[in-house]
Structure 1
């Protein structure tokens, strides 16, 4: 289950604006790679929407079936705001409906099959 926690206006390169819903998944425990200590977090993702601002605002608090999954991506650099440290990341987060999540877990990538 994911919940709409906010919305955001984004400007395209051509100057056109569109809205994105900010979705958040459930709370999950994570072990810090730096300290080895556990902490709690929740994955968030921004998903484009075709709604107007009033509709996006009214959706805050709504829940939808699905999950936010960590998916591989081309490596990119990210600056941690709190420390200024630049790290290389090779994943992104994506909203998946229940069916999409099952398919992603159960279907074997054809590159892995000989």
Structure 2
């Protein structure tokens, strides 16, 4: 199961606005490679929808069947907000039913 955490309004290349849902998966307990200590995390992703903003507001907090899986992709840079460190990532997370 995944949970609808939030929604966002995005704009397509043709200028139309659409709703995107942010989904989160189950909590995971991981071990830091740097410190060796445990920390909690959740996988998350965003998916586009054909629903309107009013409906999106109603489904925030709901659980839906499926999971969020790690998929390999072209490398991209990510800045860690807490430290400002830039790292290269070779994956993304996607919703899978």
Do both share a fold (TM > 0.5)?
yes
Residue equivalent to 2:81 = 81
How big is the shift at 1:14? 3.9
Bigger relative CO (Cα 8 Å, ≥ 6 apart):
2
What is the DSSP-based 3-state SS (H/G/I as helix, E as strand, rest coil) of the residue aligned with 1:33? coil
2:22 aligns to what? 22
Check if 1:11 corresponds to 2:30: no
Partner deviation per Cα, 1:23-52 (whole Å, 9 max, x = no partner): 111111111122121111111110101100
Q: Structure 2: how far apart are the matches of 1:6 and 1:51?
A: 14
What are the Cα deviations for residues 90-112 of structure 1, in whole angstroms up to 9, with x where unaligned? 00000001xxxxxxxxxxxxxxx
Listed as ranges, the gaps of 5+ residues in structure 1 are 98-114
Distance 2:15 2:34 in 1: 40
Higher mean displacement: 42-51 or 10-19: 10-19
**Could you tell which deviates more after superposition, 35-44 or 51-60?**
35-44
User: Which sections of structure 2, spanning at least 5 residues, go unmatched?
Assistant: none
* CA RMSD of superposed structures (Å): 1.1
Q: Paired residue for 2:90?
A: 90
The 5 A counterparts of 1:1-114 are 1-97=1-97
* Greater helix fraction, Structure 1 or Structure 2: 1
Aligned residue pairs total: 97
